[in-house]
Amino acid sequence: MWNKEIDVGGLKTRGNVFLAPLAGYTNYPFRLLAKESGAGLCFTEMVSGKGLKYGNENTRELLYTTPREGTVAAQLFGNDPEILRSACESEELAPFPIVDLNMGCPVPKIYKNGEGSALLENPALAERLVKECVKSGKIITVKFRIGIDEKHLITAEFAKRMEGAGASLLTIHGRTKDKVYSGEVNFKEITSAKNAVKIPVIANGGVFGVQDGERLQNETGADGIMIARAALFDPQIFCEFSGQPRLGKYQAFAWQMEETEKIFDEHFTTVFMRKMAAFYVKGARGAAGFKERFFAAKTPKEILTIAKEAFVGD
């Protein structure tokens, strides 16, 4: 069920359990760990089309990759067709054969700018974005929500319009924009979209283990699933689906730390890995005390010393 290849615009994925784009987290080392654990396709953090156009250095850092990673998708957000096409054609996106357009982000700042989930209210513009980006020669996919709220569910119709505009795959988060990341996932709406289009559909929302994944795929008929927040607590969650052997928790954390240090400076590594440590330690005995110690740590070495104690036996 979980090692099924998906054809995305002529490219075959390694499996049908994907890592979601997670702002602030799915950097290169995080994606590598997910890939080694069996993720079928990984996505970069959400990147601004305008940021690429105007040469924002932080935006470029989000797109760091190497051939070691294999096929990876870049996620873009924006609402200007020409700017997004230009981004697709940019040197920074040259390593990414797949570009995913974000039409589901519920963050107020993004929504108020007419980007992310705001595009659900402007399907004509959403179509133009896809059509223009397709002209770049990239494989274009779209990630969107089922609507702004329960009174405005647009899943099947929006899916058809995205397919008609040239999208090669759709990822549907089964919650409305106003629910953000809480509440029940609407299986029926994802099913309606799956039945309305011929391109692959990936279901997203509420997957924290194999049982959740099986329910989401079985009840929606989706071609695969996408894992988001659960991967923050356990980047190796993909092992549960792929059958790949797990590293011990400390070993995985130390590996992620080492890979992060290779790319980023000490300050970024310290801040980022403190956050990761807080996720990794959830559920462990004395978790609150360890989290306090992690956030007081000043260097990667200090964090690693605490992690060795926190993750003993895991």
As a whole number of angstroms, the distance between CA 289 and CA 124 comes to 51
As a whole number of angstroms, the distance between CA 67 and CA 46 comes to 20
User: Residue 35 CB: number of other CB atoms within 10 A?
Assistant: 20
Tokens linked to 73: 């998708």
Instruction: List all residues 6 or more positions away from 183 whose beta carbon is below 8 Å from its beta carbon.
Output: 175
Burial 66-82 (b: 16+ CB within 10 A, else e): eeeeebbbbbbbbbbbe
- In the residue annotation, 105 being an active-site residue is answered as yes
The secondary element (H helix, E strand) that includes residue 139 is strand 139-145
Tokens linked to 221: 């008929």
User: Are 13 and 5 spatial neighbours (Cβ–Cβ below 8 Å)?
Assistant: yes
C-alpha distances in Å from residue 196, one per residue of 88, 156, 161, 164, 299: 28, 6, 10, 11, 52
User: Which is it for the CA torsion 174, 179, 184, 186, positive or negative?
Assistant: negative
Instruction: Identify the DSSP state of 146.
Output: S
Q: Which of 88, 105, 133, 239 is catalytic?
A: 105
User: Are 270 and 303 spatial neighbours (Cβ–Cβ below 8 Å)?
Assistant: yes
User: Are 299 and 306 spatial neighbours (Cβ–Cβ below 8 Å)?
Assistant: no
As a whole number of angstroms, the distance between CA 266 and CA 212 comes to 37
CA 287 to chain centre: 27
Active site residues: 105
